[in-house]
């Protein structure tokens, strides 16, 4: 391999990129635009759930329960009603996401020490939102229950009765994402998905473009080796990919305020390995397809869908069916997402992330070998 030949090919590809605004737009502007759109639009947080209340008891205890819902940061009191027909209409129209129905014997049951059922009707067309809303409601009810138990224990103690001497005080602490903000784990995963798609798309057009424009015959007639051509075409896009990574990290840090607890050097080292594999995957597609249209379509199918659905970015891999879990091991974005989340949120290093880093490196090596094997200096 001759450095001068590699540099000449890299210079040629760089000039082509600079002369083609679409390539620059695809390489720099589109990743940033996608990060902005997905970063702001894609959120799993459920805040200010509109709540409708039917208080059939109208006692001090029932009003206290309602006030606990209204005073939490998760619920917003939309109004009150006195019948199920209004509740059904409000849920159907999407005016509220949850309705709370307090029975008439709520206060008397509490005073008698009996359990009492409170009904929560949740709009469940969106299963994820409904599940989160139910969790919020259970948390508010749990705090209210604890308050009732403590009051009952104090009352029994004043009358010399043997009651609840101790109450379990559960204080949960969430590690790595204290406020449970979805953007803190969405943004690192989103970076992986965007980098995977853009990297493969960028290089999926390189070799195919040479075939379509008729310049490949000229390249084949030169002393240029296949490895030199691949490396020369790879270098400019590798630089664009690193620039995208820098911009993405800066946006995550200062725009979305996602904490970066791990090593910045390790982050870019892992990103460089991933970029090599993703860029060579696109180039492999370009070598095989020999058509820009076909290559771009194949690149989308092989990168975006697996990276979005099977990388653990949006859906927990452990909850997938076993055959699908096995299939996810073939998706390189899975390992990159794991590495990014470990570096961003947990601040861990290779002592914990050695296996996914090794598998990501193996993916890059396999892509190098396949691209070199598939590219042959022949017209047919």
pLDDT of residue 161: 44
Res 220: pLDDT? 66
Sheet bearing 98-102, strands edge to edge: 75-80, 49-55, 98-102, 119-122
Beta carbons of 346 and 261 less than 8 angstroms apart: yes
DSSP-based three-state secondary structure for 132: helix
| Contact (Cβ atoms closer than 8 angstroms) between residue 192 and residue 36 | no
Q: What would the DSSP string read from start to end of 16-63?
A: HHHH-HHHHIIIIIHHHHHHHHHHHH------SEEEEEEESS-SHHHH
Residues 202-221 have a mean pLDDT of 74
* pLDDT above 60 for 116: yes
Domains located in the chain, CATH noted: 3-43+182-374 (no CATH), 49-158 (3.40.1710.10)
pLDDT tens figures, 139-185: 899 888 888 877 777 766 655 444 444 444 556 677 777 777 778 88
pLDDT higher than 70, residue 377: no
pLDDT tier, 251 (very low <50, low <70, confident <90, very high otherwise): very high
Per DSSP, 310 falls in state: S
Among 176-185, 203-212, 279-288, the range of highest mean pLDDT: 279-288
Cβ proximity of 334 and 181 under 8 Å: no
User: What percent of the chain lies above the pLDDT cut of 70?
Assistant: 91
Q: What is the pLDDT of residue 228?
A: 83
Q: What residues form DSSP beta bridges with 102?
A: 55
Average pLDDT of the segment spanning 216-226: 72
Q: Which of 102-111, 188-197, 339-348, 369-378 has the lowest mean pLDDT?
A: 369-378
State the average pLDDT for the chain: 84
Q: Is 205 a residue whose pLDDT tops 80?
A: no
Enclosing H/E stretch for 77: strand 75-80
Using CB atoms within 10 A of its CB, is residue 128 exposed (0-12), middle (13-18) or buried (19+)?
A: exposed
Sequence-distant (6+) residues with CB within 8 A of 75 are 48, 49, 50, 51, 69, 98, 136, 140
What are 137's two structure tokens?
Answer: 């409601």
Q: Give how far Cα 326 sits from Cα of 251, 303, 329, Å.
A: 34, 17, 6
Nearest to residue 209, comparing CAs of 274, 281, 285, 280? Answer: 285
């Amino acid at each position: 391999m001759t450095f001068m030949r590699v540099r000449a090919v890299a210079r040629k590809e760089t000039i082509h990129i600079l002369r083609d605004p679409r390539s620059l737009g695809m390489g720099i502007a589109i990743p940033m635009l996608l990060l902005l759109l997905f970063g702001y639009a894609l959120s799993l947080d459920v805040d200010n759930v509109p709540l409708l209340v039917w208080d059939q008891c109208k006692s001090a205890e029932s009003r206290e329960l309602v006030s606990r819902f209204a005073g939490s940061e998760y619920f917003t009191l939309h109004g009150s009603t006195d019948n199920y027909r209004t509740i059904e209409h409000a849920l159907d129209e999407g005016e509220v996401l949850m309705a709370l129905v307090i029975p008439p014997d709520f206060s008397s049951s509490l005073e008698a020490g009996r359990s009492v059922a409170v009904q929560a009707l949740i709009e469940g067309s969106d299963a994820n939102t409904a599940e989160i809303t139910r969790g919020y409601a259970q948390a508010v009810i749990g705090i209210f229950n604890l308050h009732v138990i403590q009051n009952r224990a104090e009352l029994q103690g004043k009358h010399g009765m043997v009651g609840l001497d101790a109450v379990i005080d559960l204080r949960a602490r969430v590690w790595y994402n204290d406020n449970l903000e979805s953007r803190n784990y969405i943004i690192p995963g989103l970076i992986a998905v965007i980098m995977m798609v853009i990297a493969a798309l960028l290089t999926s057009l390189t070799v195919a473009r040479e075939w379509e424009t008729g310049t490949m015959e000229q390249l084949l007639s030169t002393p240029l080796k296949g490895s030199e051509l691949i490396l020369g075409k790879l270098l400019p896009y590798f630089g664009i990919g690193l620039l995208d990574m820098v911009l993405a990290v800066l946006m995550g840090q200062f725009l979305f305020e996602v904490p970066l607890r791990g090593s910045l050097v390790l982050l870019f080292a892992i990103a460089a390995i991933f970029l090599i594999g993703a860029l060579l995957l696109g180039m492999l597609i370009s070598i095989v397809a020999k058509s820009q249209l076909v290559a771009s379509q194949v690149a989308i199918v092989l990168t975006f869908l697996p990276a979005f659905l099977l990388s653990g970015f949006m859906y927990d891999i452990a909850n997938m069916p076993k055959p699908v879990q096995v299939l996810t091991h073939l998706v390189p974005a899975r390992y990159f997402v794991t590495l990014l989340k470990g570096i961003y949120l947990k601040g861990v290093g290779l002592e914990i992330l050695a296996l996914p880093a090794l598998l990501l490196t193996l993916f890059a090596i396999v892509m190098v070998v396949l691209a070199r094997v598939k590219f042959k200096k022949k017209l047919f």
